[in-house]
Structure 1
Amino acid sequence: MNQKKFGKALLCVPLLSAWLLAYTPASAHAESTTAVAHTITVTGKGEIRVKPDTAYIQLGLTTTGKTAREAQQKNAAGFESIRKALATFKIAETDIQTVRYSTSPDYSWEDNKQTLKGYQVEQMVSIKYRDLNRVGELLDQATAAGANRIDNVTFTSEKLDTYRMDATDRAIDNARLKADRMATRAGVKINTILAISDGSTPSVIYPIRNTEVMAASMKDAASPSSQLSPGELVIEDYVTVTYGY
């Protein structure tokens, strides 16, 4: 074949390809489009309710003095008493962490004039405590020893990772239940999972108060011990799943 004829043959190749694409059966395009369109997408919810097994307590001491050194010495002495009180509850050193320590000037305003009164020292610790029945007693003992700040008491669980996985399992089951119901109602049958994704990061966790225990505590107001109600924790998770049919 001479060079001129070979060039003409090459020119015919793209024309032939265009002709083949133009005359591809419509059914092939329809099958591809239909396969993608046959989907059901749902969001499943999983919920776990559990009792807390751990309390996080933030308490501390605020002291004042004419000088920063005096305020710090008062704080150190006061916290030594608090630590001795906490020692009776057999709390590990690793479960007590200082979360705030500050020294600041203490001013007063008189006749539109700022006057230095002295200095203030604040020290706060976070305590991890597992005997939930004695949390109120711990607070009372710490206060009796000198603590004048109780900022927060939070109830949680050391098994949250396991509970989150359980909530995820329930969310997946819930998603399938929804999808099966939709498919049955539509007269089709699910045959595969095309995509699945976590719907919430991190999982939602919130406490629920035990109202019966709270009411009992209020009636027993004359009790010498503070009473706290751990209630229960609700762990929620969501997943989004796309099914094919």
Structure 2
Amino acid sequence: MRILILICSLVLSATVTSSPIPDFPFITVTGESSRKVAPDTAVINLEAIAFSKNSTEAFGDLNKATSNIITVLKNYKVTTDKITTHQLRKDTKRAREKNGYNQLDILGYELTQVFEIRLDSIENYTAIADELSKMDNVKNIRSEFDVTNREDIEIELIGLAGENAKMKAKKMALGLGVKIDTVFAINDSGSYKSFFATFGLDSERAISFGMPPVENSFFVPKHIKISKNINVLYKLKN
């Protein structure tokens, strides 16, 4: 009988230990902070594209477009280490048939090369983007702006978000006639639901927060918004 009681005690103990949900009164809050800052860097993404009935000719046109892109960037002192190209994609284009599933004739070949261009300074951004947009065989130009001291700004914003979370927790606890004690857990996933995933209550993937891309704009925005959200779980005093 003693052995049976001991086994049951161990099982119950293991269950309690493995439970991801806190076994004490707690309160959860999300603290937020944000700041508008003037950008000083940019990333330009674009696609070089070529189409021809002959595969060799398509490659020749794509190489010409690539060469023109590099020339423009060199004219503005953008070094090659700031230019990243991704894997070449080759698609076979066939004639379309309204009905049926017969193999159709090949119309030609389309080649696509994706470029990512990082600008450490936005001084020449508008001029570069404008020239690239006017080039033949270039499409899908889009830009993202950022700041070089983003990490320092985010550290400061996390501190402000923490203060915001603590203030919220105090007000909520006061409204319920209790007081907060110590911080039990923190995460900065940016998702309130994913915060509960830490304790096994929700499996939704975290949502990232930060600088949204600014698409199809050849003008530098006056500011970008940097935001940080943190989720905090406070223990409540007994």
What residue is the counterpart of 1:220 in the other structure?
A: none
Structural mapping, 1:1-245, within 5 Å? 41-51=27-37, 52-109=39-96, 114-182=104-172, 192-200=181-189, 204-207=209-212, 226-229=218-221, 231-245=223-237
Query: How far has the Cα of 1:85 moved from its partner?
Result: 0.7
RMSD: 3.2
Aligned partners of 2:231, 2:141: CA distance in 1, in Å? Answer: 36
Q: TM-score, normalised by structure 1?
A: 0.65
Secondary structure in 2 matching 1:227? coil
Q: Could you tell me which amino acid in structure 2 is paired with residue 152 of structure 1?
A: R
- 2:203 alignment counterpart: none
- In 1, Cα distance between equivalents of 2:65 and 2:183: 63
Residue aligned with 2:96, SS: strand
Identity value in percent: 20
For 1:74, give the aligned amino acid.
D
Deviates more, 1:124-133 or 1:199-208: 199-208
Structure 1 or 2, whichever has the larger Rg, is 1
Uncovered stretches (5+) of structure 2, i.e. residues with no partner:
3-22, 190-205
Aligned mates of 2:212, 2:148 — CA distance in 1: 14
What is the letter of the counterpart of residue 227 of structure 2? Answer: I
Alpha-carbon distance between aligned partners in 2 of 1:161 and 1:203, rounded to the nearest angstrom:
15
Structure 2 counterpart SS, 1:109: coil
Q: Is the 8 A contact 2:29 2:169 kept in 1?
A: no
1:95-145, Cα deviation, whole Å (9 max, x unpaired): 111124112222223686722122221112011113335323212212344
How far apart are the structure 1 equivalents of 2:176 and 2:91?
69
CA distance in 2, matches of 1:182, 1:111: 63
Give the count of matched residue pairs: 194
